[in-house]
Structure 1
Amino acid sequence: MLRVVKILLVLAVLGGAALFGGYHYWQSRLDAPIAVAEPTLFEVSEGAGYNRVVADFAAQGIIQDEWAFRLLTRLEPDNVPSLRVGEYMLEPDMTGRELIELLGSDRVVTYPLTIPEGWTFAQMRELLDNAPKLENRTSGLSDEEVMSLLGHEGRHPEGWFFPDTYRYHKGVSDVEILEQALARMERILDEVWAERSDDLTIDSPYEALIMASLIERETGASGERREIAGVFKRRMEQGMRLQTDPTVIYGMGQRYDGRITRADLREATAYNTYVIDGMPPTPIAMPGRASLEAAVDPLPGDTLYFVSRGDGTHHFSRTLREHNNAVNRYIRNR
């Protein structure tokens, strides 16, 4: 009887040792480096489960011991992540365990999409259409259909999307980018309008958006925005037309070939501020925050005219005579 007990104890010890050794061998397989020699992109597709992804890793030679990763679902199910659809960058020094943790994280590969200040909605749509790995849901839709899709049926799209750099991952759609940009513009416009000057010739946030778009298209020089806003404000106060070339260009649409003729200046479009009184009916571009802030806080002064110096800045004048001299100096002579 004693001999039987000894045998059973020996077997138990050997079994425990085997289990201990087996467990640590399994853990060592999970902690072994993955087989990639350089950063490698791997995509988790829609509907792919954990075992499917592990099988893909094994098939591509990224992991050597598929059994060790499948065993994880039985022995440590809490350590099996819920996979997120997207692309992941696998690094050469990554272990198998770190690989599994990566797939359950939010560290998907993202791509930048930059919408420059002063661009039009048409330019933004073209950018979205050509963005790599961005799902396109608006291609072929009219602007009106796009705005309806965004829940703003009847709203003119121009100016309503905040120019900035947005990041997206594979699986994100252009509608999501548009929603982000629209929400940001609405929020920033509300913030800027709440801090507006008391003495304005514009009466609503939308008019501020229109004015900001004119400022944005007139100058990229940060020190000039408020002064240009001041010129426009004083012109409106005195019943003068704004006479800003970017509105002529916008009204010409696809006909604009890089130059404006005298006939273009006289053409009666809804946007030509050489012909119409006041501001155009909608924005003509997407303004940045600096132009929005300038629109609601014009610089006081007495200048009524400005002309481009040809270097990105403008010469401001108080009188028409002074302005004509500046035009001769900076435009006609050039």
Structure 2
Amino acid sequence: MTVPIVIDYNFGGEKKAVPNVKDVAALAGVSTATVSRVLNNKSHVKDEVKLRVEKAMKSLKYQPNDIARSLRKLKTQTVGVLLPDVSNPHFMRLLGSLEQELSLHNYRLLIGSSHDQDEKENALLTVFLEKRVDALILATSQSDLSLKINGFFDESIPVILVDRVASEIQVDFVVEENEESTYHMVKYLLERGHKRISLINGSRHISTVLEREKGYHRAMSEMGVKVDIVYGKYDQKSGYRLTKEILTHRKERPTAIVCANNDIAIGVLLAIQNCGLSIPKDVSVVSFGEIPLQDLVEPKVTCVVQNPEKVGEVSGGILLKRVTGQGGDLPERVVLPTTFREGNSVKILG
């Protein structure tokens, strides 16, 4: 690991890296947004919290960048929105709700798709910083963002995570419940006599992948049934390819397939059809997330129903509080409930 250093040209020696806002927040035990409010003499900061921040700054010998702070006061009325795939109906609905909420306050959106590629996500984060966005809405493909968004913290730019969470950072997030919802969906299959249940999941560094896997694993373990998980990406191609492998290369195929998201589910449906099999006669299917235009498609896939419009609305509300200095000292952590919708894609086994 490379240790950053600062060269002192007057004396030719080396000294420790200059402390930043994140260092102050960590030492004071608060969020970077709270440090920003203390630096900018904003209200809504308790005296005790303010003293902790000031003590941390003194201990670290932190010196605010006055030039950067003055430049940050020039608002651009833009919000960076970085999602995995804006063509996915789930994220399209989230984006539409968010835009509606923020446009009422004259904010414009700068939108990017990472396609769950870390390198592309990091490049777009840099672009948003260069465009001087006033806030960032992010559905990250990475489990640890601590080094990737330091620039936003240093510039006191609010960061709100949506759909997914990340470790090592204390920021606002708005997500939907994943583990318990998946648990109940798998229990639904088990209660109908299924034992060979395959989970087609996404990449393991994404938080929703891990949470949905936990729910699946818990339901299967409680019944003493062997787990069967295959990993790919949150897309139709993975769903199609992995389903073809499961159905054609195994001596004993599963009686049911759990799709970790709606894109995977579309690929699963196509693969089952192309294998000359039918749902639910030959294999049952359930999905985390509803299939687009489900009313026009047969069979009706039993699924966990999400509410991305609500995610967009709530995250937009939190963002507006942050950019106006009205947010609280601690990050807001919102977990929205899902619902379960029974279709006709599951066969009852004897």
Instruction: Name whichever structure is richer in strand by fraction.
Output: 2
Instruction: Name whichever structure is richer in helix by fraction.
Output: 1
TM-score between the two structures when normalised by the length of structure 2: 0.24
Larger Rg computed on CA atoms: 1
TM-score between the two structures when normalised by the length of structure 1: 0.24
Higher relative contact order (CA 8 A, sep 6+): 2
